[in-house]
Each structure stands twice: as structure tokens, then as C-alpha cells.
Amino acid sequence: MVKIDNIELPDFPLLLAPMEDVSDPPFRALCKEQGADVVYTEFISSEGLIRDAAKSMMKLDIYEKERPVGIQIFGANLESMLQTIDIVEKSNPDIIDINFGCPVKKVVSKGAGAGILKDIDLMVKLTEAMVKRTNLPITVKTRLGWDHNSIKIVEVAERLQDVGCKAISIHGRTRAQMYKGDADWKPIAEVKNNSRMHIPVFGNGDINSPEKAMEMRDRYGLDGAMIGRATIGYPWFFKEVKHFFNTGEHLPAPTIADRVDIARRHLQMAIDWKGERLGIVETRRHYTNYFKGIPHFKEYRLKMVTTDDSEGVFKIFDEVIHQFGDYQFS
């Protein structure tokens, strides 16, 4: 069993990574249903919350069926981050996660996300202040370092633990790498193998198959896996990993009927949550993966991402069942 503070999780839990415009309540619900042990919100700007920005406030929506759920926030200003804690607490999450890893320029340029990797003392100071501000467990998501020459993740993780961080998720790349090259899990294993570490250490980056998840568990000895891109349009990934862990075998791929059912429910939940227009537009990015691998599907995918009314999209789903219902995934 793995514990984040008092939250009990199974051995080697699978966590849905926070992803902007992806890990919203409808998608989190589907991932939870398919076996995710912890889900995280999209990352939320502390400055946006303080200004009461509608988009930031909406990201605080969480539902009972998601628990345990973490709200992830980013920022570099101590006072803003503390005010954010007070706002976030009202949504009653199970965990508050601090993003010290986002490599995107507009975040980094403000000294937030991975930008704070240039100032480890500030990173530790912010974490300590936030731990003192709330009774909720504070966790951290970060990267190996700013660049290859500044990787001190073993020391950084220990310092974060010492000021009260309850778990750490580490992406196996530096900020300089962005998402290029391969993730390096060896330094994450060094964090886990530090005899002074007693909080859970979760690995992140390049977990795109059940075999990779098993390697992270068995070869690198980490406490769990935080999974991002492999789940976009494919919430079944969590169930497939767990089945592989239990049996050593791969689950059969979801059928066309399974895929249409999930796409249908995803779209309906998105519309119910954020309205027709946004619900339609923001679900589109998932369709490529929902229907990946079906030959001669381009025409239908194009229709899905260009149809502007939900009734039209639901009709296309019906057409897909009619046209491809017998297709067998290898």
C-alpha cells in the first residue's frame, strides 16, 4: 500500500497527470472509471484565481466520484500562492499539488512551473509556506532540473520532503528538453533509493505501454506512475496496465462499440459541464485516439472535428457504428 499523507492507495497506484485542456471533470470521470487511482485537475494559475478569472475558477469544479482528486496550481509569488490555497480549499479537494514542472514559455517566463528550477531556495520556501497554510496534503510535480548541468533532483526532493511535501511526481526530462528525447528514469530511481526519503516518489514521462509501467515499477522501484499523454482519447490505458500487472497479458483492444460509447458519454458530459459550444470544441482533441487504427476513417474524423452542433456529432457516432461496427482491432 502507498499513502499520500492519510490517503491510502493500492500498491503502485496509477495517477492521471494534470494536463491543460485535457484533464477536465468529464475526462477525469472516464479515467477514474477505467482504473485511475488518483486524478488531478488541469493546472490552475494562482494569479487567475485571485483575479476571479472565469476559466481558472471553472477548473476548481470537482465531483465526489473522482476522489481522491488533486487540484494543481502554479505560480511564483508567495502571497498569491497563499491566497490561492484559501480559494482552493473551498472546493474541498483531497490533495493540493504544486506545479514546478510545466516547461511552457508563458509559464516559465513568470518564474513559475519549471521556471522555479532556477531558484531551488524559492521552490522550497513556497512549498514550506503552503504546507503551513493548509491541513490538506501538499504534493509537488517537477522535472529533473532546468538543464542537464543543473540536475540536483535527489537533494531537491529531500528538501521538499523536509518542509512537509507529502509526495513528489518527477518527469524524467529537464526543462531544456521540453518533451524531446527520451525520459530518463534513473535520476528518479536515485530519489527513491535515497535512504532519507520516506514519501512516495512517482515517475512521469514516456509511460506509453503496460510494459513501460511494469519497468518503472520493477526495474526502477518507484512507488507509482503518473500518466499523461498516453491517456488522451484513451482512458482504457489504466485498466490495461492493471490487467497486465495481474496477468502478464494484454487486454483485448476496446471494440468500436466501446469507443463510440466512451466518445458519446465524454461529449455529453462535456456539454453538460461547459455548454454546447465549448463542450463540442474541447472534446475534439480526443477523437483521433478514440478511433485510432481504423482504416479509411479520415472522412469520419474530419466530420467529427468540423461539425458544430452536438446532434450532428452524435449522428456521426451512429454512422461509425453502422460503417465500422464489425472491425476487429488486432
**Choice among 31, 102, 120, 271 that is catalytic:** 102
Domain boundary among 247, 276, 297: 247
62 contacts: CB under 8 Å, gap ≥ 6: 25, 41, 69, 71, 91, 92, 93
121 contacts: CB under 8 Å, gap ≥ 6: none
- Taking a C-beta distance cutoff of 8 angstroms, is the pair 137, 93 a contact? no
Active site residue 31: no
CATH code, 309: 1.10.1200
CATH code, 179: 3.20.20.70
Q: How far apart are CA 216 and CA 10, in angstroms?
A: 16
Cross-strand bridge partners of residue 133: none
The DSSP H or E segment spanning 260 is: helix 256-274
Render pLDDT for 133-172 as a digit per residue (tens, 0 to 9).
Answer: 999 999 999 999 988 888 999 999 999 999 999 999 999 9
- Residue 265 sits in the same domain as residue 314: yes
Domain boundary among 193, 228, 247: 247
- Residue 111 sits in the same domain as residue 189: yes
The predicted structure's pLDDT at residue 264: 96
What is the CB neighbour count within 10 angstroms for residue 311?
Answer: 8
**Dihedral sign for Cα atoms in the order 297, 302, 303, 305:** positive
Q: How many domains does the chain have?
A: 2
Q: How far apart are CA 328 and CA 312, in angstroms?
A: 26
pTM, entire model: 0.94
State the pairing for strand pair 2-4/7-9.
antiparallel
Please give the grid coordinates belonging to residue 215: 519497468
- Residue 163 sits in the same domain as residue 307: no
- Residue 239 sits in the same domain as residue 266: no
CA distances 228 to 29, 287, 296, Å, are: 15, 16, 28
Please give the grid coordinates belonging to residue 45: 494559475
Domain that holds residue 153: 2-247
- Residue 203 sits in the same domain as residue 273: no
What is the chain's pLDDT, residue by residue, as a tens digit (330 residues)? 999 999 999 999 999 999 988 999 999 999 999 999 999 999 888 888 888 777 778 888 898 889 999 999 999 889 999 999 999 999 999 999 999 988 888 888 888 888 889 899 999 999 999 999 999 999 999 999 988 888 999 999 999 999 999 999 999 999 988 888 899 999 999 999 999 999 999 999 999 999 999 999 999 999 999 999 999 999 999 999 999 999 999 999 999 999 999 999 999 999 999 899 999 999 999 998 999 999 999 999 999 999 999 999 999 999 999 999 889 887
- Residue 167 sits in the same domain as residue 186: yes
Tell me if the bond preceding 68 is cis, omega within 30° of 0: yes
- Residue 153 sits in the same domain as residue 19: yes
Answer yes or no: is 330 within a domain. no
54 contacts: CB under 8 Å, gap ≥ 6: none
- Residue 218 sits in the same domain as residue 306: no
The predicted structure's pLDDT at residue 178: 87
